[in-house]
A and B are shown apart, each in its own frame.
Chain A
Amino acid sequence: MAGILETVKDFMIPFHDYPKINESATLEEAVNIMYRMAREKGYRWLVVLDEGGAIKGFLTLRNVFEAISELAPKAGGWLGVFTYNRPGFFYWEGVQLIKNTPIRKLIKPIVDVSVHETDSPVKAAEIIINRRITILPIMDDQNNIAGIVRPVDLLPFIVNLFDNTPGSAG
């Protein structure tokens, strides 16, 4: 039953379960991990850590696309870089430039909003909507990141909410 007793902790993905990558890793390494994690667990973002292990930001699929889009014009645009129609030096150089780019240049900095793990899922949903973000950090009592919540994680909460509303068909 959805209600005041459920906290965002009941819906979050624990931080230790989330895929992470060092900020010095290349875009190629990040894409490899994202590809594997998207297939295995449906995760579509990576948590990016600095050399000290602290969270530096997130790398989303859109970040990857935008990075390629920004880098590609230097070597002829997406179409010029990512086709085998031009398998010469141009193609080789363009792909190397993009895949070897360190992800520290591409990440979305961690947002300055978060919720506490004892907060309501409703509060998390409000922040996601109002700030137009898709990854919301969840903090514990020590102010460490305990987990992450995304819109898809809140779906079961909404289902329960509808189920427990008077007049429900279900």
Chain B
Amino acid sequence: MAGGKTVKNFMVSFADYPCINQNESLERAVNILCALAGEKGYRWLTALDDEGNISGFLTLRMVLESISNINSKPGKWLGFLGGACHGPSGGAGLEHIKNAPVKKYMRPLTQISVRETDSPVQAAEIIINCRISILPVRDKRNKIVGIVRPVDILPFINDLFNDAPVNPPPGTKEESFLGRLAWPTPGCSPVTA
């Protein structure tokens, strides 16, 4: 039953999410990503600063782009990696990338977030409106306690569809036009404490 559930019921707890220090190398991050993508389906890493605070996220796309950025012209990958990586320039370029710190390629943390007591619907609207795929979840002390992704909200939608009655509930009647007006929609403005 989906009714009454909050974001907290669907988020991946921060304690369970794979983290990496932002000063670790991209190579180490890729190794962790590869292992966890197979085991748990995670496709991002949370980057932490030296104090253990979240500083950003490293996504698969950023990993691909990091390698792609070595040369700005189309076709660069082919020349760079397609076997040519064993030459002096290719090897040196790759070595530079794989040893670069995660913070060079990660997406910095923004202030966009939801509360753990918010509705999953609110999280879905922010994910769509802000075109993001990782949404931090904060507790009442404004601390990040989890992360919610589109795939985490899928069970909520599935339950809603499955639980919806096939016929109108007895005794209900159509509401007036005023009842159909949209409720305020959450936007991309930062959630502050």
With a CB–CB cut-off of 8 A, which chain B residues contact A56? none
Number of A-B pairs whose CB atoms are under 8 Å? Answer: 186
Q: How far is the CB of B18 from chain A (nearest CB, A)?
A: 13
Inter-subunit contact B64/A76 (CB<8 Å): no
Give chain A's interface secondary structure class. Answer: helix
Inter-subunit contact B60/A155 (CB<8 Å): yes
Give a binary string over B1-39; 1 marks a CB under 8 Å from any A CB, 0 the rest. Answer: 011100000000000000000000101001101100100
Bound-state CA distance A32–B162 (Å) is 9
Inter-subunit contact B175/A167 (CB<8 Å): no
Of the candidates A4, A42, A73, A93, the one whose C-beta lies within 8 Å of that of B182 is: A73
A-side interface size class? 35 or more
B191 CB–A CB distance under 8 Å: no
With a CB–CB cut-off of 8 A, which chain B residues contact A122? 77-78, 80-82
Q: How far is the CB of B32 from chain A (nearest CB, A)?
A: 10
Inter-subunit contact B34/A155 (CB<8 Å): yes
Say whether, besides A161-B94, A162-B27, A77 and B182 are in contact (CB < 8 Å). Answer: yes
Inter-subunit contact B121/A82 (CB<8 Å): yes
Q: How far is the CB of B180 from chain A (nearest CB, A)?
A: 5
Chain B residue, CB-CB nearest to A87 = B169
With a CB–CB cut-off of 8 A, which chain B residues contact A159? 30-31, 34
List residues 139-162 of chain A with CB under 8 A from any CB of chain B.
151-152, 154-156, 158-159, 161-162
Bound-state CA distance A74–B100 (Å) is 49
Bound-state CA distance A34–B27 (Å) is 32
B102 CB–A CB distance under 8 Å: no
A-B contact pairs, 15 of them (CB 8 A): A35-B158, A42-B41, A61-B150, A61-B154, A62-B128, A65-B153, A66-B128, A78-B185, A79-B184, A80-B183, A82-B160, A88-B173, A122-B80, A162-B98, A165-B94
Chain B residues at the A interface, C-beta cutoff of 8 Å: 2-4, 25, 27, 30-31, 33-34, 37, 41, 43, 60-61, 63-65, 67-68, 74-78, 80-83, 85-86, 91, 94-95, 98-99, 119, 121-122, 124-125, 127-128, 150-151, 153-155, 157-158, 160-162, 164-165, 167-169, 172-175, 179-185
Interchain residue pairs A-B with the least CB separation, the first 9: A84-B3, A4-B83, A77-B182, A42-B41, A151-B60, A35-B158, A61-B150, A95-B164, A79-B183
